[in-house]
Homo-oligomer: A and B are copies of this chain.
C-alpha cells in the first residue's frame, strides 16, 4: 500500500526551479560523457569537479523518498522516474499530456544517449517510453494503482534519433484488467506499435 503526502503547487514550483537546472546539467554531462575525446589528464581534471559537485549534493539526502501527490491535480509527483522524472537525468524526460478523454500523448526528442544501432533509437528505450505512456493512460494519469501485466511491441521500422511523438489510449477494461494501446512515431508515421494489459493489484480493487 502506498502512503501519499501532498505537495502544494507553490512548493512544487519552488523545488522544480531548484532541481530542474541540476538535472539538465547532468543530462548534458551524460551526453558529453559518451562523446568526449579528451586525454587522461583532462578527464582527471573533470573528475575533481564531479567529485566536488557530488560532495556538495550529498550534504543532505532524502532518506525516505515519500510518494508525493500534487495538492491541486492529485497526481503523483514522479520526480525520480527514469522515463518522466524531472529529477532523473536518465529520463529524456518524457512529459506526458493527458487530454482527459482517455488519451495521452507526448512530444520529445531522443538524442545519441538513447541510441541502439547507429542512428536509431535503442529498441528497449522505445519500450521504456511506451510502457510509461501506456501505464499512464491505463491508470487514469497515475491516479489509480495499475501495474504492467503484459506488454507487446511491434517494431514496424527503425525509429530515428530526433523529435518523436508517442500516443496511447485505453481500448477497454475487463474487471481488474485494463487494455491499452499506443504508438511511437516520427514525422513519417508509426515506427513502433504497443499493446499492454495493466492490472489493478488485489489491495486496490475494493477502492475501485
Binding site for B on A (CB under 8 A): 2, 18-19, 21-23, 25-26, 28-30, 32-40, 42-43, 45-47, 49-54, 56-62, 65, 67, 79-83, 85, 87-90, 112-118, 122-125, 127-132, 135, 145, 147-155, 158
Q: A18-B43, A127-B128 are in contact. Are A81 and B36 (CB under 8 A)?
A: no
Q: Which residues on B sit within 8 Å (CB–CB) of A158? A: 147
Distance A66 CA – B70 CA, assembled complex (angstroms): 45
Q: A32-B61, A65-B118, A83-B124 are in contact. Are A148 and B152 (CB under 8 A)?
A: no
Q: Are A26 and B42 in contact (CB under 8 A)?
A: no
**23 pairs, CB–CB < 8 Å, chain A vs chain B:** A18-B43, A29-B29, A30-B88, A36-B57, A36-B60, A42-B56, A46-B56, A49-B56, A80-B112, A82-B124, A82-B125, A83-B122, A83-B124, A89-B89, A90-B114, A117-B147, A122-B132, A123-B131, A124-B130, A125-B128, A127-B127, A128-B128, A151-B153
Contact of A81 among B45, B81, B115, B128 (CB under 8 A): B115
Q: Which residues on B sit within 8 Å (CB–CB) of A58? A: 32, 36
Q: Are B53 and A29 in contact (CB under 8 A)?
A: yes
Contact of A38 among B45, B47, B60, B151 (CB under 8 A): B60
Distance A90 CA – B115 CA, assembled complex (angstroms): 11
Distance A125 CA – B45 CA, assembled complex (angstroms): 33
Contact of A127 among B23, B28, B29, B151 (CB under 8 A): B151
Q: Are A43 and B19 in contact (CB under 8 A)?
A: yes
